[in-house]
Amino acid sequence: MTTPDPGAGPQLHSIITINATLFYAACLGGLAWLCWPETVEGWRFGLFSILCGLGSFALALKGIGDIWQHIKRDIGVGRFQRLGRKPQSDHLAGDDAMHNSDMIE
């Protein structure tokens, strides 16, 4: 299994999780809007609607916070990548180089 490129952005699992969170927040917001009572007698639906609305707001904030954390991570990775050159392989020491530096006889 290979490790993902740190500069490639968020992984598929993170994208699906964020989208599911925001979708769930939208569903709760829609349910809160649908359950809002039009008369005073339906105050129980009003309480349920308020709770759904608060849950929707909290999930939306969580989704936006997750997006912001991925943006901050990508900015940090970009800064780190601009610091130096790309990694490259080193040459292996051959027999001649080892003889010249008196490492082997």
pLDDT recorded at residue 103: 77
- Whether pLDDT at 3 is above 70: no
The 8-class DSSP code of residue 84 comes to S
Ordered alpha helix ranges (H), 2-103: 12-35, 43-83, 95-100
- Structural contact between residues 26 and 64, judged by C-beta atoms closer than 8 angstroms: no
Residues 13-54 have pLDDT tens digits of: 999 999 999 999 999 999 999 999 888 888 888 999 999 999
- Structural contact between residues 48 and 35, judged by C-beta atoms closer than 8 angstroms: yes
Residues making up the chain, counted from first to last: 105
CA distance 19 to 8: 18
pLDDT recorded at residue 93: 74
